[in-house]
Amino acid sequence: MIRTTLAASIRDALREGIQAGVWQDRLPSEPDLVRRFEASRETVRKALAMLEAEGRITRIHGKGTFIEEPLSFNPLSGILSITQELARSRHPVANRVLGGAWIPPGRIPSAFLQAFFEGEPRVFELRRLRLVRDEVLAAETSWFRAGAFPGVETADLSGSLHTLMTGRYGLAPQRVRNRFQALDFRAKEAREAAQALGSRQAIRVERALLRGREVYYAVSFTLRTDLYPLEFLQLPGRTGEEVL
C-alpha cells in the first residue's frame, strides 16, 4: 500500500480546487491554508512547492500565490503554428531571432529535409528561439524556397511565420509531412540545441509544407519537454464508423 504524505494530500486538494474553479486567480494565503488543512506552515509550503514545480502556480514574495493557466503543446494537433497552438492556453509566444542567411541546400543538416530542396541554388535559413513565460520552449530553424518567398530576408521574421506565409505570400499547404526524432546529443547540432534550451529533455520535429509535389518551406524545431507536457488527443474508431 502506497502512503500519501500530508503535503501531497494538500497538493491534490488544491489541484482539484483549481480545476473545479474554487479559486480563479490566486490561492488563499499561507495562514489561511494552514487553518483550512490543519497543517503546519512547513507542510503547506511543501504542498505549494509541488504545485509550483508542476507549473500550476507562481509564488511572488509579498504579493501572493497566483494560479497559472495549464499549458500543453500538441505537435500533432493539425495547427501548423506553434504561436497559434499555444494561444489556446492564453500564453503568448515570444520569438527571438538569432540570425538568417541564404545558404546552399547542402548545408541543411537534416537529410530528410535537405532532399526536398534538391536542385535549388539556395534557400533562406532562419534561426529563432521560441519563448513562453520567459522560458525557452523551442529552438527552431526554418528554410524557405527562394522562388516562393521573394524578399523574405527583408520581412519581419519575429512574428508568426505561418501568418507571414499565408498573408504576404498567399501560401497555405495542401499536405504536411512530419517526422519525429530522438536526439543524439553526441551530434554537434543536438548539443547546440540542448545548450539553447537549457535542457537535454527534448524531442525534435521536422516538418515540410507542400503544395502539389513541391516543398516551399521546411522547419526543424527542438522542443523542450521538461517544462510542459507534449499531449495529443486520439479519437479511435472502426472503419465505416463516424467519430463524433
13 vs 142: CA distance, rounded Å: 44
Please tell me whether residues 43 and 155 are part of one structural domain: no
Please tell me whether residues 103 and 186 are part of one structural domain: yes
Please tell me whether residues 148 and 48 are part of one structural domain: no
Query: Is 10 a domain residue?
Result: yes
∠226-232-235 over CA atoms, to 5°? 160
Q: Of 159, 151, 165, 154, whose CA–CA distance to 97 is shortest? A: 159
- Around 86, how many Cα atoms within 13 Å sit in the side-chain half-sphere? 19
Please tell me whether residues 14 and 117 are part of one structural domain: no
CATH of the domain at 12: 1.10.10.10
How buried is residue 193: exposed, middle or buried, by Cβ count under 10 Å (0-12/13-18/19+)?
buried
∠149-153-154 over CA atoms, to 5°? 105
Total structural domains within the chain: 2
What predicted TM-score, i.e. pTM, was given to this entire model?
Answer: 0.66
User: For residue 72, what is its C-alpha cell?
Assistant: 500543453
What range does the domain containing 162 cover? 82-224
pLDDT tens-place values along the chain, 244 residues long: 344 689 999 999 998 888 888 887 889 999 999 999 999 999 999 999 988 887 778 888 888 888 876 555 555 555 556 666 665 555 677 899 999 999 999 999 999 999 999 999 999 999 999 888 778 888 999 999 999 999 999 999 998 898 899 999 999 999 988 888 878 778 787 888 888 888 888 888 899 999 988 999 999 988 887 776 665 555 555 444 443 3
Query: Is 239 a domain residue?
Result: no
Please tell me whether residues 95 and 152 are part of one structural domain: yes
